[in-house]
Each structure stands twice: as C-alpha cells, then as structure tokens.
Structure 1
Amino acid sequence: MTEPDPKSRLAALEARIAAARGRDEPRKRHQDEHYSQAQMAWRLVIELVAGLGIGFGIGYGLDILVGTTPFLMVIFTLLGFVAGVKTMIRSANEIQQKGLLDASGDGADEEEDGENGDRDARR
C-alpha cells in the first residue's frame, strides 16, 4: 500500500493550521489603523508646545546677541504661540475632514484622485 504524496499532506496540514489560526483574513498593518483620539490630541499639544519652544529659543538667542534680555524673548514667544495655534487649527481641520470622509463612506483614493486631477487641471 502506498502512502499519499508528502507534498499534498504538507499542503493539507498547512491549510488546516491556517484555518485554525484564522489567517485567511488579511491582517491590518499598524500604519493602516485609524488614529485614536488620544493620538490626535497629543499631536495638537505637541504642535503648540513646539511653536512656543521655537519662538522662545529664537527670542532668547536674539536677546543674547543683541543684549535686550526680556524684550525679544517675549515677542518671539508670543509669535511662537500664534504660530502653534495656527498649526493646531490647520491640523484640527485636516482631522475633521478625514473624519467626515470616513463617516460618509468615501475612500481616501477618491480624495487623492480629486486632488491630483485638480493639480493636473492647473498645469
């Protein structure tokens, strides 16, 4: 009596293992998952703090060079705050637009095609 082909036995075993593990469904990559609310909030906070830090650094550096200790530091810190708030608002609008697209069921591919089409039309 002959035994079945080892390759076919191995293929059958792999199919059974895959079915048992549920690998028939493709796994989502971490990059494909949607961002959580906490990640978006941290992004906004970091943008604000970065604007403040950069403005403070530039102002402090110019104060040391020029010799006007608190004057430029205060001005550039305020400018950094304004820049951070503007960046936060821009990011919040971007997040909101992506949320509206996800909620309406439109795919990101359609949005990208529309943007590329607009760019091509402008050229």
Structure 2
Amino acid sequence: MTDDREDSLEERRKRLSAELAGKHAEDAAEAKRDAQSEESRKGMALGLKISSEFISAVAVGALLGYGLDYVAGTSPWGMIILLLLGFCAGILNVLRSVGMVAPQATFNDRSDKTGK
C-alpha cells in the first residue's frame, strides 16, 4: 500500500514538474515578447519626437518669415530666409537627438571648462 502511495506521489511530482516547466517556458516567452514590444515603443516614441522637432522648427521659421514679410513688406524674402533657417535648425535638432552632434552647451558647462 505504501508502494502505491509513493508511486502515486512520484507520478504527481513528475506531472507537476512538467507543468511547472511548461509555465516557466511560457513566462520566458512572454517576457521576451514584452521586451520586444518595449523596444518597439521606444523606437516609435523617438521617431515621433524627432519628426515633431523637425516639423515645428520649419513651421516656426515659416511663420516668423511670414510675420516679418507682413510687418516689413519684404515680400517673399523674409519667409524664404527664415524658412531655410528653420530647416537648418530642425536638422540640427534631429542630429542632436540621435547623438550625431554634441549637445548644446549650457552656461554651467562653459564655466566648468574654464576653471572659474
């Protein structure tokens, strides 16, 4: 009788071990999917940030140029020049965001380099 009981317990232990191994495999697969989706979300957020910075710089340049043309009466020249400056500022912001250009120095950074 004790042999049957021990066999039964051993069988239940094996079955539970197999179920636990299956659960661990499912958990590992789910963690991998979560990590991949997190990377995807980070990439999407970075892309939206970069595109909005670029578009806003061009739009601000165009609006300032249009305002300058309206106030000063310089026809298309103010808009052309400030639109190009906005485009250049947008490109610079994009390059800073992706790390291709050094970040803009602040007042504290300049004083640290001079030793004052």
TM-score, scaled relative to structure 1: 0.48
1:1-123 paired onto structure 2 within 5 Å: 36-93=42-99, 122=115
Give the helix-richer structure, 1 or 2.
2
Deviation, 1:36, is 1.3
Deviation, 1:69, is 1.8
The code of the aligned residue for 2:84 comes to L
Gapped regions of structure 1 (runs ≥ 5): 1-32, 95-118
Q: What is the CA–CA distance in structure 2 between the aligned matches of 1:38 and 1:69, rounded to whole Å?
A: 40
Q: What is the CA–CA distance in structure 1 between the aligned matches of 2:66 and 2:60, rounded to whole Å?
A: 10
- State the Cα RMSD in Å: 2.7
Gapped regions of structure 2 (runs ≥ 5): 1-37, 101-111
Q: What is the CA–CA distance in structure 1 between the aligned matches of 2:59 and 2:75, rounded to whole Å?
A: 17
For the pair shown, the structure with the greater C-alpha radius of gyration is 2
Q: What is the CA–CA distance in structure 2 between the aligned matches of 1:70 and 1:42, rounded to whole Å?
A: 31
The code of the aligned residue for 1:66 comes to A
Query: Cα deviation per residue 1:91-118 (whole Å; 9 max; x = unaligned)?
Result: 1118xxxxxxxxxxxxxxxxxxxxxxxx
Q: What is the CA–CA distance in structure 1 between the aligned matches of 2:97 and 2:75, rounded to whole Å?
A: 34
- Aligned identity (percent) is 32
Q: What is the CA–CA distance in structure 2 between the aligned matches of 1:89 and 1:36, rounded to whole Å?
A: 18
TM-score, scaled relative to structure 2: 0.51
